Chains A and B, each alone.
Chain A
Amino acid sequence: MVKYTEKIQEIAKRLLQEEKVDVFIGYRKGTMPMMNQPVLITAPEEAARLYWDNFCGLNLCNYLTKRTDRIGVIANGCNSRNMVTHIIENQIQREQLYIVGIPCEGMIDHRAVMRAVHYKEILDIEQNGKTFVVKGADFEETFEKEKFLQSNCAVCTHRNPVIYDELVGELVEEQTDVSAYEDVEKVEAMDPEKKQGFFTRLIGRCIRCYACRNACPLCYCPTCFVDESKPQWVGKSIDPTDTLTFHFLRAYHCAGRCTDCGACERVCPMGIPMRQFTKKLNKDCLELFSWEAGLTLDQRPPLDVYRPDDYNDFIK
Chain B
Amino acid sequence: MTDKVYGKEKWIQGLEGLKNDYKIYVPVKDGDFHAFMPMSEGKAPDFDYDNTRMSPKAVMYPESERLFEYSLDDADPEANILKESPKDFSPRAIVGIRPCDAHGFQIVNRNFDNPEYRDPWWVRRFGSTTLVGLGCNRPCSTCFCTAVGGGPFHEEWLDALMVDLGDRYLVKGLTDKGEGFLAKMTGGTPADEGAYKEAEALAEEASQKIVSSPPTDRLKDQKTTDLFNAPFWEEVAFGCLNCGTCTYLCPTCWCFDIQDEVFGKQGDRIRNWDSCMFPLFTLHGSGHNPRDQKFQRVRQRFMHKLKYYVDKYENGVQCSGCGRCVRYCPVNIDIRDICERMNNFESA
B80 located at the interface, meaning its Cβ lies under 8 Å from any Cβ of chain A in the complex = no
Flag if B243 contacts A63 (CB, 8 Å): no
User: Lowest 6 CB-CB distances: which A-B pairs, in order?
Assistant: A267-B330, A209-B244, A211-B243, A237-B64, A30-B332, A38-B239
Q: A32-B142, A32-B327, A266-B330 are in contact. Are A209 and B243 (CB under 8 A)?
A: yes
Contacting chain B: which of A77-85, A113-121, A146-154, A277-285? A113-121
- Name which of A31, A111, A267 has the most chain B CB atoms within 10 A of its CB: A31
- Tally chain A residues at the interface, Cβ within 8 Å: 40
Write out, one digit per residue, whether chain A residues 54-72 have a CB within 8 A of any chain B CB (1) or not (0). 0000100011000000000
A123 located at the interface, meaning its Cβ lies under 8 Å from any Cβ of chain B in the complex = yes
Flag if A32 contacts B332 (CB, 8 Å): yes
Flag if B272 contacts A237 (CB, 8 Å): yes
User: Which residues 259-311 of B have a CB within 8 angstroms of A?
Assistant: 259, 261, 270, 272, 275, 278-280, 283
Residues of B within 8 A of A62 (CB): 241
User: Which residues 7-36 of A have a CB within 8 angstroms of B?
Assistant: 30-32, 35-36
Chain A: CB-nearest residue to B64: A237
Chain B: CB-nearest residue to A216: B241
Min distance, Cβ B64 to any Cβ of chain A, angstroms: 4
Min distance, Cβ A204 to any Cβ of chain B, angstroms: 10
Flag if A214 contacts B32 (CB, 8 Å): no
Flag if B279 contacts A31 (CB, 8 Å): no
Flag if A208 contacts B238 (CB, 8 Å): no
Min distance, Cβ A106 to any Cβ of chain B, angstroms: 19
Interface of B is mostly: loop
B33 located at the interface, meaning its Cβ lies under 8 Å from any Cβ of chain A in the complex = yes
Q: A227-B280, A271-B32 are in contact. Are A214 and B241 (CB under 8 A)?
A: yes
Residues of A within 8 A of B280 (CB): 227, 229
Flag if A235 contacts B261 (CB, 8 Å): yes
B257 located at the interface, meaning its Cβ lies under 8 Å from any Cβ of chain A in the complex = yes
Flag if A229 contacts B239 (CB, 8 Å): no
Number of A-B contacts (CB under 8 A): 107
B249 located at the interface, meaning its Cβ lies under 8 Å from any Cβ of chain A in the complex = yes
* A209→B275 CA distance, assembly (Å): 8
A194 located at the interface, meaning its Cβ lies under 8 Å from any Cβ of chain B in the complex = no
* A62→B241 CA distance, assembly (Å): 9
User: Which residues 24-70 of B have a CB within 8 angstroms of A?
Assistant: 30-33, 50, 53-54, 63-64
A172 located at the interface, meaning its Cβ lies under 8 Å from any Cβ of chain B in the complex = no
* A119→B52 CA distance, assembly (Å): 12
Q: A207-B248, A227-B278 are in contact. Are A58 and B32 (CB under 8 A)?
A: no
A236 located at the interface, meaning its Cβ lies under 8 Å from any Cβ of chain B in the complex = yes
Chain A: CB-nearest residue to B331: A37
Residues of B within 8 A of A36 (CB): 332
Min distance, Cβ A54 to any Cβ of chain B, angstroms: 15
B333 located at the interface, meaning its Cβ lies under 8 Å from any Cβ of chain A in the complex = yes
Flag if B63 contacts A235 (CB, 8 Å): no
User: Which residues 209-252 of A have a CB within 8 angstroms of B?
Assistant: 209-211, 213-215, 227, 229, 232, 235-239
Min distance, Cβ B334 to any Cβ of chain A, angstroms: 5
Min distance, Cβ B274 to any Cβ of chain A, angstroms: 9
Flag if B328 contacts A269 (CB, 8 Å): yes
Flag if B248 contacts A209 (CB, 8 Å): yes
Flag if B334 contacts A31 (CB, 8 Å): yes
**A271: contacting residue among B33, B270, B334, CB under 8 A:** B33
Residues of B within 8 A of A168 (CB): none
B174 located at the interface, meaning its Cβ lies under 8 Å from any Cβ of chain A in the complex = no
**A63: contacting residue among B238, B249, B259, CB under 8 A:** B238
Q: A37-B332, A119-B32, A238-B64 are in contact. Are A209 and B239 (CB under 8 A)?
A: no
Flag if A31 contacts B331 (CB, 8 Å): no
A40 located at the interface, meaning its Cβ lies under 8 Å from any Cβ of chain B in the complex = yes
* A238→B273 CA distance, assembly (Å): 10
Flag if A205 contacts B31 (CB, 8 Å): yes
Flag if A58 contacts B141 (CB, 8 Å): no
